[in-house]
Amino acid sequence: MGRMTAVHAATRRAQFPVLLRMQMARVRAAWRPYLIVSSAMPLGIALLMRAVMSDAQVAEHGPQIVSGSAVLAITMTAIVMLAQRVASLRETGAIDLYSTLPVRRGAVIAAVLLSFAVFALPGTVIVMVLGAALFDLSIAALWVAVPVWALGSFALAGLGVAIGFGAPDEQLAGMYSNFLMMAVLFLGILPAGQLPGWVAPLRWALPSTYAIEVLKAGFEGEVSGRAGIYMLVLAAFGALSFWLIRGPLWPRSE
Amino acid sequence: MSSEAPVFRVQDLRKVYREPEVVANDSISFDAWPGEAFGVLGPNGAGKSTLVKQLVGLLAPTSGRIGLLGAPVNGPDDAARVAATVSYLPQGALSLGELTVGEAVACIGRLRGLERGRADSDARALTEALSIDELWARQLRKLSGGQRRLVQLAMTLVGDLPVLILDEPTADIDPSLRRDIWALLSERVRGGVAVILVTHDVAEAEHVLDRVAILDAGRVMAAGTPAELKADLAHRTRIEVVVAEDAALDPAVIAADLGQDAQVQGRAIAAWVPADEALRTLEKVVSAAGLGSLEDVRLVTPTLEDVYLELGRGDL
């Protein structure tokens, strides 16, 4: 057949940087909204809480509030903005484009998740640093923020992609992801003891809760084995969502 | 062609969409060969895009078989395998608008296995061939509709895949560039590439297509080489007359001279007549009307577009 031979698709190692570069190009167009959206609301909430709390309450709940705000910053990017982005990619045919290229779905998804983890980073750092200053928290044990950012972004972005794949259009993806963001906000930032009794257990259904608990332990300087378990749970959430969006949830035409 | 195996072998293909139930393709069979430009023509909604989406694995057929180089294509699970052989230019908007033109073309080349240097040089060559090299550093979202289509075409051509499926490749593109595109595609075909071209621009496609299937309402209405399809009309010639704007002549009078099938649109009258009577009929019309009353007079031999239009009217 001579000419009729398939090309050799880029090797797995070569594919991923190209896919990541394609995703990261979005930074050029949209870094301002990513930074502003991911940091403004969490910072505003931290400021509000600081303003209405007594000194005793600040000392007691500060780590929870700043941790929740930092994870909310990840949520704003990795769930709300990513869900809308993915829905838009689906609507404009970009998902079909990837389906007609000799690339692995897993590599495409990993590139999308990593790019949004990177987009979430500046806002998260800003919220943690300013929040710590606002609530007079120590950042000495905040090395845990690195794995929390990585694992939390991965797990939350998996939810964002799932919403983007499942929502009928970009507007509904925005609405669904905002509902989820509200859940992260109320179940994550508000101290568990102040939630209604039947609501409190729901916290543990969200990956954000585990990220918040580890960050909180970091601010309190009490990182223990439990933090390791929570990070494993986060990793499991991430792995499950990756498997779901790569397989059963990957959009299929009729 | 017969000494080689077909690139695509499509047998009795049927595709039914649900909710609402629509039969988009029915009883479609054809072979597409290496070094051949195969055209899928038809009006909007004929089922052309549905057909090619099944060829590339984006849609699963309801029934029937698609073979690519002997291996079955049953739907999305086969898309990645198809993508190693087939490059597909879809209809519709260009995604990934944040990429620059150069990045978009070179990245797709790299994903198709080209080394970085080769991907860049091929991207440069393609953008020059399509006259978009000056847009190299511009983001896709800042391009006009026609420019975006050219970039999509470059993204489809990069990587030198042996099969190209192009859905309306010249949509939104100005006439001078269309010629360059047809020339580029013809060059690929001569080099052994199989091109499956979906279009409703029949007049242009006639010059580059080796074989054609005309679809309507999801079914193949006619198939063959352009010459074979035109053979049914070869015994006829079309007379086209336009009455001058200031002439006191009723176009219906000329239409009556041209026969009962003559069609009148404003001042223009057209009719098919037997080829051996065409000159005599035309002389009769001109002498009756007076040359000064006519703005334009033409004798037109059948084109593929005429075949297409006649099929649409159910005349063939």
Give A109 to chain B, closest Cα distance, Å: 15
Q: Residue A140 in 3-state DSSP? A: coil
CB distance from B96 to chain A under 8 Å?
A: yes
Q: Distance (Å, rounded) from C-alpha A200 to C-alpha A191?
A: 9
Average pLDDT over residues A118-136: 93
Q: A21 and chain B: CB distance < 8 Å anywhere?
A: yes
* Smallest Cα distance from B56 to chain A, Å: 7
Q: What is the DSSP letter of B46?
A: S
- C-alpha A225 chain-centroid distance: 23
pLDDT in tens, B248-264: 888 888 888 888 788 89
Q: Distance (Å, rounded) from C-alpha A193 to C-alpha A22?
A: 45
Determine contact, residues A166/A83, Cβ cutoff 8 Å.
Answer: no
- Select from B86, B90, B113 the Cβ nearest to the Cβ of A96: B90
* Residues comprising chain B, all counted: 316
Residue B70, helix vs strand vs coil: coil
Residue B159 confidence (pLDDT): 93
- Mean pLDDT, range A133-147, rounded to an integer: 89
CB contact under 8 A, A10 and B5: no
Q: Which residue has the higher pLDDT, A253 or A186?
A: A186
Average pLDDT on A197-206 reads 86
How many residues would you count in chain A? 254
Q: Considering chain A, what is the average pLDDT of its residues?
A: 88
pLDDT at position B313, please?
A: 57
Name the B residues in 152-171 with CB < 8 Å from any A CB: 159-163
The segments of chain B whose pLDDT lies below 70 read 1-3, 93, 312-316
Cα–Cα distance measured from residue A126 to residue A120, given in angstroms and rounded to the nearest whole number: 10
Residue A2: pLDDT band (50, 70, 90) is: very low
List, for residues A48-94, the tens digit of each pLDDT value. 999 999 989 888 889 999 999 999 999 999 999 999 989 988 887 77
Output the pLDDT for position B312. 63
- Per the CB < 8 A criterion, the answer to whether B35 and B211 are in contact is no
State how far the alpha carbon of A235 is from the alpha carbons of A226, A254, B138, in Å: 14, 33, 39
What's the CA gap between A155 and A149, in Å, rounded?
10
Q: Positive or negative, the Cα torsion across B257, B262, B265, B270?
A: negative
> What DSSP designation does B277 have?
G
Rounded to 5 degrees, what are φ and ψ at B289?
-85, -30
User: Coil, strand or helix: which one is A22?
Assistant: helix
Q: Is A243 left (phi over 0), alpha (psi -120 to 50) or beta?
A: alpha
- The end-to-end CA distance of chain A, in Å, is 34
Alpha helix segments (H runs only) across B130-271: 145-157, 175-190, 202-205, 226-231, 251-258
Contact B80 A10 (CB under 8 A): no
Alpha-carbon distances of B235 from B263, B277, B278, rounded to whole Å:
19, 10, 10
- Cβ-Cβ contacts under 8 Å, B71 against chain A: none
Which residues from chain A sit within 8 angstroms of residue B86, using beta carbons? 100
- Residue from B52, B56, B111, B153 to probe the interface with A (highest A Cβ count within 10 Å): B111
**A97 contacts in chain B (CB < 8 Å):** 90, 95-96
ipTM value of the model?
Answer: 0.82
C-alpha dist (Å) from residue A233 to A111, A162, A180, B59, B148: 22, 19, 19, 37, 45
Least trusted range by pLDDT, from A2-11, A84-93, A116-125, A154-163: A2-11
Asked if the Cβ–Cβ distance from A9 to B95 is below 8 Å, we say: no
Cα B87 from Cα B156, distance rounded (Å):
6
Most A CBs within 10 A among B23, B69, B98, B152, hence the mutation to make, goes to B98
Contacts of B82 in chain A (CB under 8 A): 100
Q: Which residues of A106-121 are buried (b: 16+ CB within 10 A; e: fewer)?
A: bbbbbbbbbbbbbbbb
pLDDT score recorded for residue A10: 59
pLDDT at A87: 92
- Provide the pLDDT confidence category of residue A6 given band limits of 50, 70 and 90: low
In a 10 Å sphere around its CB, with 0-12 CB exposed, 13-18 middle and 19+ buried, how is residue B23 labelled? middle
A–B CB contacts, 8 A cutoff, strictly below:
125
For residues B254 and B221, the answer to whether their CB atoms sit within 8 Å is no
CB distance from A14 to chain B under 8 Å? yes
| Phi, psi of B26, rounded to the nearest 5 degrees | -150, 130
Indicate if the pLDDT at residue A171 is higher than 90: yes
For residue B137, how many other CB atoms are within 10 A of its CB?
9
Question: Under an 8 A CB cutoff, do A1 and B58 touch?
Answer: no
Q: What is the pTM of this model?
A: 0.82
Report the pLDDT value the prediction gives residue A1, as an integer from 0 to 100.
42
Q: Which residues of B fall within a CB distance of 8 Å from A101?
A: 83, 108, 111-112
The residue that leads in pLDDT, B105 or A14, is B105
- CA nearest neighbour of A3 among B164, B287, B169, B239: B164
Instruction: Specify the DSSP element, H or E, that contains A102.
Output: none
Model confidence over A228-248: pLDDT tens digits?
A: 999 999 999 999 999 999 888
Q: Output the DSSP codes for B159-195.
A: T--SEEEEESTTTT--HHHHHHHHHHHHHHHHTT-EE
Does B69 contact A94 at a Cβ distance shorter than 8 Å?
no
